Structure 1
C-alpha cells in the first residue's frame, strides 16, 4: 500500500480514534449520524467542483449558486405560494443560467476558468442579494414594500433535511456520479481533456461539449446543495452559500490525493468531505472556538495541495525521463 493512495483513509481512521478517546460522546449513534448527514451538502457541492476539475477547470461560482438557489426556492414558497415541484424546477433553471454565464466567458471569450468563475461569483452574489431585497427570506415575513407574505414552506420539503433523507441523497449522488465519471466513455473523455486537451482535439473529439457538460454538472449540484440547505434552515440568508465554497474546494483537492495520478475523483471527494466533517465535529466537541476551524481546514488543504503537486511534479519528471530514454520510433507507436 502506498501512502499517497491510502493516506487519507489512514488519517480519517486516526482522527476517529483520537476523538473517540478525547471526546467521550464522539462515537455515539446520534453524533455519528450528525457527522454523516452534516457532510451531505458539502459533498454534493464538492462533487460539482470535481466535475469542473476533471476537465482542468475550476468553478468558484458554486458558493454563490448555492446562495441563489436557496433564495429562489424559499422565495417561491413564501412570496408566491408555489408547490415543491415547480419551485425546484425554477430554482434549477435559474442555477443553470449561472453555468451558461461561465460557459460563455470560458468558451466564447476564452477567459481562463479561474477568472471567469470569479467574476460570475460576484455577479451571482449581487443578483441573489438584490433578489432577496438585501435581507433574509423567511415564512411570515413582511417584504420591504410593506406587503405581508402568506406562503408557507411545505412540511414535505422540510422533511428533506432529516438525517436519513440527507444521507440517502448524498450516497445516491456519490453512486451515480461515480458511475458517470469513472465508468462511462464521457467521463473518461473528460479526464482525458483534463490531461491533454490538445491531444483530445487532435483525436477528433469535440472538447467543447464536455467542458459545457462539466460546468452544467457543477451548477446542478450546487443548486441541489442550495435546495437541501433551504430545507435544512427553512429560510434564505444573505450569502448563505459562501461558507460552502472553501469547504467544498478543500474536499475536492484533499480527495485528489487518493488517486495514484492525483486527479480529482468522486470517492476521494467523498472521503475529503468526511475528513473535514470529522475534523470539525471533533474540534467542536473539544470546545475549540468556531472561528479557529478555518485555520485548521486551511492547513489540511495546504497539506493536500503539497502532496498533490508533489505527485504532479513526479509524473511530469517520469514523462520527461521516458521520452528521453525511449527511441523516437518506439515513442510514436
Structure 2
C-alpha cells in the first residue's frame, strides 16, 4: 500500500506538466484576464488584429526555426527582412517593374544571402550566432546604402529632383491586408511543419541539430542540410519583409530589424509547447500568439509601450528556464 502511494506521488511531475502545457495555459489565462479587464479584447476585430500583428513575426520566426533545427542560429533574419522590404518597394517605385519580376528579384537576392550565410557557417566552422551577427551588420549596411538611409515611397523625390516614376500595384498591397497575410502565415507554418515532421529531410535536420557527429556517422550530409537550412531561413525572412512592405506600402530604414527579437522569442518559446523540446513550426506559431496577446492586451490596459519588452523578456526567460531544466534532468 505504501509503495503504491509513493508510486502515485511520483506519477505527477509538476515541472513536466508546466513544460508540456505551460505555454498553452498561459495563453488561456491571458485571454481570460484581458477579456475581463477590457471591453474589446475578445471581439472578432481584435482577434483579427492580433493575427495580423503576429503574421510577419511568425513568418520570419519560421525561417529562424529552420536554422535552429540544424543546431544553428540565424541572427541576420531581421536585416534580411529589411533588405527585402527595401528592394521590393524600390523595384516598383524606382524601376516601374511588375509584381512578378519584383518578387522574383527579392527571392533571388534573399536566397543569395542564405547562400552566403550557409557557406560562411559551414566552411569556416565559426559559431553560427557569431557568424550571422557579422552578416547581420553587413546586410543592414547594404540595405541602408541601397536606400541612402531614406524612406522609399510612391511619388518620392529622386536625387535628380523628379518624382519617382513607378507605383505600387494594388494587388501587392492586398497581400499586406487580411485575410491574405494571415493565410500566408498559416501556409508557411504548415509547410515547415510538414517538412520537419513528415519528411526524411526534416528527420535529418533534427538529427543534425541533436548530434551532428552522430548524424555524420550515419551518412547524413551535415554541411548540405545546414546550408539548405540557412537558405530557407533567408527566404522566409525575405517573404516576411515583402509582406511588411505590402502592409505599410513604404520601405523604412531597417524596418525588419525590430522583428528579430520577437521572432527569437517565438521560436524559443515554441520549444516547450506540448513538451516538444526542439524547434518546431507549431510551437513557433504558439509562441508568436503568446507574444501577440501580451502586446495587444498590455496596450489595451494602457501599459506604456516601452514596458512591454520587460514582460516579453520575462516570458522568454521562463520558457527557456523550463526548457533547459528539462534537458538537464
1:10-65 CA deviation, whole Å, 9 max, x = no partner?
11000000000011110111111111121111111111010000011000000000
Matched, 1:238 2:253: yes
Name the structure 1 match of 2:8: none
Name the structure 2 match of 1:150: 165
Cα distance, 1:3 vs structure 2:
2.2
- Once the two structures are superposed, the pairs formed by residues 1-333 of structure 1 within 5 Å of their partners are 2-314=17-329
Cα distance, 1:146 vs structure 2:
2.7
Paired residues, what number? 314
Cα distance, 1:104 vs structure 2:
1.9
CA distance in 2, matches of 1:122, 1:115: 11
1:74-108 CA deviation, whole Å, 9 max, x = no partner?
00000000000100000111111211221121111
Which runs of 5 or more residues in structure 1 are unaligned?
315-333
Q: 8 Å contact 2:118–2:228 — kept in the other structure?
A: no
Q: 8 Å contact 2:21–2:275 — kept in the other structure?
A: no
Moved more, 250-259 or 229-238: 250-259
Cα distance, 1:162 vs structure 2:
1.4
Cα distance, 1:259 vs structure 2:
4.8
Q: CA RMSD in A?
A: 1.1
CA distance in 1, matches of 2:110, 2:66: 16
Cα distance, 1:270 vs structure 2:
0.4
Q: 8 Å contact 1:259–1:265 — kept in the other structure?
A: no
Cα distance, 1:311 vs structure 2:
1.5
Which runs of 5 or more residues in structure 2 are unaligned?
1-15
CA distance in 2, matches of 1:81, 1:70: 16
- Once superposed, which parts of structure 1, at least 4 consecutive aligned residues long, lie more than 3 Å away? none
Q: 8 Å contact 1:63–1:243 — kept in the other structure?
A: yes
Q: SS state of the match for residue 284, structure 1?
A: helix
TM-score, with length taken from structure 2: 0.93
Cα distance, 1:126 vs structure 2:
0.2
1:143-201 CA deviation, whole Å, 9 max, x = no partner?
23434212000001111111111111111111111111111100011000011100111
Q: 8 Å contact 1:34–1:163 — kept in the other structure?
A: no
Q: SS state of the match for residue 96, structure 2?
A: coil
Q: 8 Å contact 1:51–1:217 — kept in the other structure?
A: yes
CA distance in 2, matches of 1:261, 1:70: 33
CA distance in 1, matches of 2:209, 2:298: 36
Q: 8 Å contact 1:78–1:153 — kept in the other structure?
A: yes
CA distance in 1, matches of 2:149, 2:156: 14
CA distance in 1, matches of 2:130, 2:164: 39
Cα distance, 1:261 vs structure 2:
5.0
